Structures are given as C-alpha cells and as structure tokens.
C-alpha cells in the first residue's frame, strides 16, 4: 500500500521531493516506508528498493544501534531528537550529518518517524582544515623558525602559567662573531641550530627552552632548587664544549657562557627582572674568561 500523507492544505508528499535535504519516513518498527530524492542521491538508493528495510539491512556499516536507539525514543516519547550522526553510503564512504527526527501521528492513528538530514561533511572538513591552519599559525607565532625552540613571546606566555619554583638560565655562544667571520654566515646559522640541539639534549621534558636573541637562549628549569640549577648549568656548559659542530669536514668547536637566577615561586616572579639578573651574571662570566657559569645568590 502506498504511503498517503498530506501536508497543510492537501499538499502531497511530492513537495518533499524538491527539498535539498534528505528526508526519510519510517514506520513504528523503524522500517523505511519512503525517502525523497535527496536521500536517494546521498545514499545511491531507490525508494522502492529500500521500502520495508531496516537500517542494518540497508547500511551494514552504519552505527545502527545508536541510530535506532534515537528512532525508538522519538517514536515512544514524541520528543524531537536532533543529533550528529556519521552515516555511510552504500560503498562505505562516511558522511557526517545532523539529523532531526520527529514523530508524526495521522488522524487515522498511524504513527511514523520523519527524519530530515543535513549533510555537513564539507562543513566539518572545512572546520577541521581551519583548525589545522590555526594550529600551524599558532606554532609559527610561538616558535623560532630556525631552531624549533620557543621564541621570546612564547616563553613569557608559558612562564605566566607556571606555579612552581625554578631556575632561569640565560646563555650564548662564546666568540660567535668569529664563527661568522671565519666560516661564513651559513656556518653561523648551523652553529646556532647545533647549539640549540646540544642544549635540548641536556634538558628534561618539562624544561622550557627559548631562543631570545641571535645566539642567545634562555632555559627555565621548573621544580629544581638552586643547587640542582648549578648542576644543570655545568652539564650544559660541558656538553657544548665537548660536542663540536661538524660542517663539511670541518670541526667547529664552541663554548658557552651561562648566567642564572632562581625564584621560589614562578607565579609571583617577574620574568623581565629574572632575565635582567641572569643577564648580569652572564656578562660577569664573559668578562672573567667565558666557558663558565654564574648563578645569582
């Protein structure tokens, strides 16, 4: 028997065929009784072929339990259900939809479930692309392009979220200008990248490493005490001294000068002030011979 539903002033079901949204109608057993052309197009089916079928018979890969659970709830309570669904075309291609389902009871007492689907696959894909692009932009804004370390801006923003004691170190390559003069600016860039990698190799996962100047880097060591800070500084100093840059069969030796200071509570500390204190210690090391470290008392 053909489905006889009239809308408004006697408009037939055919009016639903011109809608761009897929529309489906099921009986009280959640079997398909009708679908419009947009539904046929989306799922590559014919309405006459799907009549009397359940979702599990029509869409083997669909999340049938979740879908049918919503159908039964609508039929039982009459509540409108609007939910995100991942549905599958007959060839298994996933589509992302938002489906709104209503219970329709005719004057004769027959009850149907009517669903209107909004295919949002392209919208979701565009949103994901925008999120990926935004993530990449945030990374570019917060990352030093040469070394992959945090930049100065990112260091300040991250430091503001810290609520632990810790040590701040600031360091740069000794006699860096000589590397540029003797080997060229490409070698200078390579030296900076090598320097960053050597520092990273001596840090914990929780430590913050940022490039804050040309060949100048800052490290915040959360959770350590002043004694451990000195041990970290000396370990970095030793690693730089003992790991020369190898560039085109040339071994370019480097040393580093390090200044540092300590805070008992990062959340109450002024990073600018900490950097100034550490920088003063750094210059004291430079003037006293380099390849060493000094931590502010």
Q: Note the pLDDT of residue 9.
A: 43
C-alpha 147: how far from chain center: 21
Token couple for 113: 């479930």
| Nearest Cα residue to 28 out of 47, 56, 54, 8 | 54
Q: 262-290: per-residue pLDDT in tens?
A: 999 999 999 999 999 999 999 999 999 99
Q: Is the pTM of this model over 0.85?
A: no
Selected catalytic residue, list 29, 89, 215, 273: 215
Under 8 Å between Cβ of 258 and 233: yes
Provide the pLDDT confidence category of residue 3 given band limits of 50, 70 and 90: low
Q: If we measure between CA atoms, which residue out of 66, 114, 121, 61 comes closest to residue 97?
A: 121
Confidence of residue 60 (pLDDT cuts 50, 70, 90): low
* β-strand pairing of 256-263 with 250-252: unpaired
Closest Cα partner for 284 from 295, 274, 271?
295
- Domains annotated for the chain, with CATH where assigned, are 13-125 (3.30.450.20), 143-295 (3.30.70.270)
The Cα–Cα gap between 218 and 151 comes to 10
130 or 242, greater pLDDT:
242
Res. 254 pLDDT band, cuts 50 70 90: very high
Which of 228, 222, 190 is closest to 209 using CA atoms? 222
Confidence of residue 8 (pLDDT cuts 50, 70, 90): very low
User: What are the tokens at 96?
Assistant: 């992302």
Which pLDDT belongs to residue 7?
Answer: 47
Q: Give the residue-averaged pLDDT of 231-246.
A: 96
Look up 215 and say whether it is catalytic. yes
Distance, in Å, from the CA atom of 47 to the CA atom of 60, rounded to the nearest integer, reads 17
Q: Please, what's the b/e burial string for 106-116 (b: 16 or more CB within 10 A of its CB; e: otherwise)?
A: eeeeeebbbbb
pLDDT (tens digit per residue) in 62-114: 555 545 668 888 998 989 888 877 777 667 777 788 888 999 888 788 899 99
Residue 233 sits at the vertex; the CA angle it makes with 206 and 205, to the nearest 5 degrees, is 15
172 in Cβ contact with 213 (< 8 Å): yes
Residue 117, helix vs strand vs coil: strand
* Rounded-to-integer distance, Cα 220 and Cα 199, Å: 12
Provide the pLDDT for residue 84.
79
DSSP character for 93?
-
Q: What percent of the chain has pLDDT over 70?
A: 90
DSSP 8-state class, residue 173: E
CA 219 to chain centre: 25
Residue 10: pLDDT band (50, 70, 90) is very low
């Amino acid at each position: 028997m053909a489905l006889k539903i009239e809308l408004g002033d006697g408009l037939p079901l055919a009016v639903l065929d011109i809608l761009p949204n897929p529309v489906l109608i099921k009986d009280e057993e959640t079997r398909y009784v009708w679908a419009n052309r947009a539904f046929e197009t989306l799922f590559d089916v014919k309405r006459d072929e799907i009549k009397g079928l359940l979702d599990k018979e029509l869409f083997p890969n669909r999340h049938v339990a979740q879908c049918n659970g919503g159908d039964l709830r609508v039929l039982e309570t009459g509540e409108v259900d609007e939910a995100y669904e991942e549905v599958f075309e007959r060839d298994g291609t996933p589509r992302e939809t938002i489906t709104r389902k209503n219970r329709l009871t005719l004057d004769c007492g027959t009850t149907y479930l009517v669903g209107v689907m909004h295919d949002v696959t392209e919208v979701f894909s565009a949103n994901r692309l925008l999120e990926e692009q935004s993530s990449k932009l945030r990374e570019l804004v917060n990352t030093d392009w040469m070394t992959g370390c945090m930049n100065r801006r990112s260091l300040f923003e991250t430091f503001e979220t810290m609520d632990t004691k810790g040590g701040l170190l600031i360091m740069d390559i000794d006699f860096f200008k000589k590397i540029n003069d003797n080997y060229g600016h490409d070698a200078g860039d390579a030296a900076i990248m090598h320097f960053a990698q050597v520092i990273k190799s001596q840090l914990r996962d929780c430590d913050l490493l940022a490039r804050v100047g040309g060949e100048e880097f800052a490290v915040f060591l959360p959770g350590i005490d002043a004694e451990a800070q000195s041990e970290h500084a000396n370990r970095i100093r030793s690693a730089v001294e003992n790991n020369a840059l190898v560039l085109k069969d040339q071994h370019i030796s480097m040393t580093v000068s390090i200044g540092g200071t300590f805070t008992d509570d990062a959340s109450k500390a002024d990073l600018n002030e900490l950097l100034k204190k550490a920088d003063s210690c750094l210059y004291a090391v430079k003037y006293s011979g380099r390849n060493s470290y000094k931590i502010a008392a």
